[in-house]
Structure formats: structure tokens, C-alpha cells
Amino acid sequence: MLNVNKFDLTYTRCYCEENIYLLCKEIKEKQNEVLEHCSVVYISNQDRMVPLWKQKAGDGQQPVVWDYHVILYVEGSEAMIYDYDTTLSFPASAKEYFIETFKPEYKLKKKFDRYFRFVEAKTYLEQFSSDRSHMVRM
């Protein structure tokens, strides 16, 4: 089980991949044995329009549409999700997170289909780099 307090961690709004990198770094430094049970999950789709519910940036009822989102998945007796931007608990059970965040009961248009890319946290720490050029408006 991962032992972290959300309020002791570094968080920057709209920098999900950097926030998760810093969380992985914290885990490596303080609970290295847990790192092998952690995966970083990229959520996106071909059109870079991913609807997610239960996000702080939303109004609570409607989804927020991100170009991508990054969370931490931790395996254990109960799989947990660490998402700084959710209105759910931190961490949230993976089951609750996926039901509340992705609303599988809703039939979305094909362009909103999501894909999930799992990267071992150890690999993420070794190879992470960030490029924010897509956020610059010309």
C-alpha cells in the first residue's frame, strides 16, 4: 500500500504528467519497494478529445475534455488510482475511478473512444521528458 499524503506532494494545475512524475519520484525515494506495483497511465485518443467526469476543472455534472490525461495506477489487494485532478478521493479505488470518470454506461461517439497506455513507473522515471509546445498559442 502506498503511503502518501496528497497535501504533502507537489502539485501544479494542468501539469498532470509532471505531477505524476514527482509522485513516482517520491515513491522511489520513500517506498521504493512499492514502485514495482505502480504504472503510469496515459489516457488519450486519436482526436485528442478525451471526456472525463469528476474532474476539478468541470462543474461536476458535465465532462471535462482533455487532450490527454495522466494518472498513477497502483496494483494491490485493491487496485488504486492517484489522480490529482479528480473530485473523487485521493487515492480512489480503480473500480470507482473508472466507473465515475469514464461513465461506461454512456454511449459516446467513436471519436471519443479512449485508449490507455500503461508505462511501468520505473521506466517513466528513467525516460520521462515533457514538451509543452502544444500549449503555446501563436
Q: Is residue 69 part of a domain?
A: yes
Q: What is the CATH number of the domain that holds 97?
A: 3.10.620.10
What is the tens place of the pLDDT at every residue in 22-56?
999 999 999 999 999 999 999 999 889 899 999 99
Q: Is residue 57 part of a domain?
A: yes
Domain count of the chain? 1
16 has catalytic annotation? yes
Q: Is residue 133 part of a domain?
A: no
Whether the bond into 91 is cis, omega within 30 of 0: yes
Q: Which residues contact 22 (CB under 8 A, 6 or more apart)?
A: 9, 10
DSSP class of residue 69? E
Cβ atoms < 10 Å from Cβ of 98: 15
For residue 112, the model assigns a pLDDT of 62
Name the burial class of residue 129, with classes exposed (0-12), middle (13-18) and buried (19+) by CB atoms within 10 angstroms of its CB. Answer: exposed
For residue 1, the model assigns a pLDDT of 66
Q: Is residue 87 part of a domain?
A: yes
For residue 82, the model assigns a pLDDT of 98
For residue 98, the model assigns a pLDDT of 95
Catalytic residue (one of 24, 37, 38, 69): 69
For residue 132, the model assigns a pLDDT of 52
- Distance, in Å, from the CA atom of 57 to the CA atom of 23, rounded to the nearest integer, reads 21
pTM for this entry: 0.88
Q: Is residue 90 part of a domain?
A: yes
Catalytic residue (one of 24, 37, 38, 83): 83
37 has catalytic annotation? no
DSSP class of residue 75? -
**Structural domain range at position 43:** 8-126
Q: Is residue 138 part of a domain?
A: no
Q: Is residue 20 part of a domain?
A: yes
Give me the residues of the chain with pLDDT under 70, please. Answer: 1, 109-112, 129-138
Q: Is residue 86 part of a domain?
A: yes
